[in-house]
Chain A
Amino acid sequence: MERNLTHIALFAALIAVLGLVPKIDLVSGVPITAQSLGIMLCGTVLGAKRGALAVLLFLALVAAGLPLLAGGRGGLGVFASPTVGYLVGFPLAAFTAGLVVERWRISIGVAAFAGAVLGGIVVMHLCGILGMAAILGKSLPEAAMLALPFLAGDLLKSGLAAGITQGLARMRPASVLSRA
């Protein structure tokens, strides 16, 4: 019980830190926010339920007024902005990623990559596109065009999430709760 709570809280903090750390170069020369990497890791490391709870805890603190979103954004305003779909997608993405790692009993690296792609890319962008279409008054294909430029970076982050999950599973097998 205590362990579940602290893991959920610490990973919620990790999501925030990955969004606030200045400029990590994912591809040489292209600084991208690593926040969605944190969302993926919540699912692949903590599992479906705990991962989603960590993300919900993070979002609750954002709503309460802490500037924890990438670039120091936060407050209630972000839930009215066009990117609200992505915020709704965050917990669903972590849940999906966790579910894949929990259920698909293949090598954890492969399962984590599949989970990160399915949750962190497919589910996340589906929600994000629905949100942008609603707020900007555009059709779904038109809104999908806005999400397109981010796909390459997200695929890269899925690969990173898989590698990191595998590394953690090797170093702290008991702490990777999605497989514990």
Chain B
Amino acid sequence: MLTLTSPVETWLHRWPAGVKLAMVALGTVLIFAIKDPWIMGLVVAALMLAYLAQGARFAAQGLRLLHPLWPFFLILALWHLWLAEPRQGLLLAGRMLSAVALANLVTMTTRLDAMLAVLERLLAPLVHLGLRPRVLALAMALVIRFVPVLLDKAGQLRQAWRARSPRRVGAQIVLPLALAALDDADHVAEALRARGGL
């Protein structure tokens, strides 16, 4: 499975994941504290430069990651032009754009294994609630392994549907897909127990 980490190797890739996460947390708090549209504009410009500094391919990928935001920009634009308060609209749009772009920058420059290692460290205190780090790591590995397996299964179900019906693929395939997930879960549980359990 492909991750969202950029294949374009940048100097940001070499920073420790924990440092980048702390910076994005601090940065987001600061971004939400900005009340002046001009300062917000500077932040947006700085982030744009940060993306462009990593090369055109990196910046294009970053732009693609921002696509899901456009309906919200449209809503903000219509709303604040209607109310004739463009300053407030620009501030909100800039805040949304910069907070998401900043977070995406970390995701794009941090490898999955580094991120998962930080996640495990952050969740380590949960051992007091009975969640052992080993179990958590196994659970995450199982999900990563079984997403492609179930996607494959869904693909087979879709093909079987198409071979037999002139209609478009319907929600009926969700039941056999859920059944496959339940059965796989039982089989993996048996296999784990057979190897000595957790």
Which A residues have a C-beta under 8 Å from some C-beta of B? 1-3, 5-14, 16-18, 20-21, 23-26, 28-29, 34, 37, 41, 45, 57-58, 60-61, 63-68, 71, 73-83, 135-138, 146, 160, 163-164, 167-168, 171-172, 175
Contacts and interface: CB of A to CB of B under 8 A. Distances in A.
A25 B179 contact: no
Given A24-B173, A37-B171, A75-B108, 9 more contacts: A6-B184, A6-B185, A14-B177, A17-B150, A24-B174, A65-B110, A66-B3, A80-B100, A146-B75
A17 B154 CA distance: 8
A81 B181 contact: no
Contact of A76 (B24, B96, B138, B168): B24
A147 B95 CA distance: 22
A57 B139 contact: yes
A67 B64 CA distance: 13
Contacts of B110: 65
Interface stretch (B8-16, B37-45, B52-60, B65-73): B65-73
B63 interface: no
25 contacts: A6-B142, A6-B188, A7-B185, A9-B146, A13-B147, A16-B147, A20-B147, A24-B171, A25-B168, A26-B170, A57-B140, A60-B119, A65-B112, A66-B4, A66-B144, A67-B2, A76-B24, A77-B65, A77-B100, A77-B103, A79-B103, A80-B100, A135-B92, A136-B92, A137-B92
A75 B143 contact: no
Given A6-B185, A13-B181, A76-B24, A81 B100 contact: yes
Given A13-B143, A76-B103, A76-B106, A66 B1 contact: yes
Given A14-B150, A77-B104, A80-B28, A160 B182 contact: no
What 4 pairs across the A-B complex have the smallest Cβ distances?
A: A75-B107, A9-B142, A76-B103, A77-B104
B81 to A, nearest CB: 15
Contacts of A11: 181, 185
A45 B112 contact: no
Nearest to A64: B115
B174 A34 contact: yes
A61 B142 contact: no
Interface string B152-180: 00100010000000011111011101110
B174 to A, nearest CB: 6
Contact of A71 (B68, B150, B189, B198): B68
Contacts of B175: 163-164, 167-168
A2 B189 contact: yes
Contact of A74 (B4, B100, B142, B178): B4
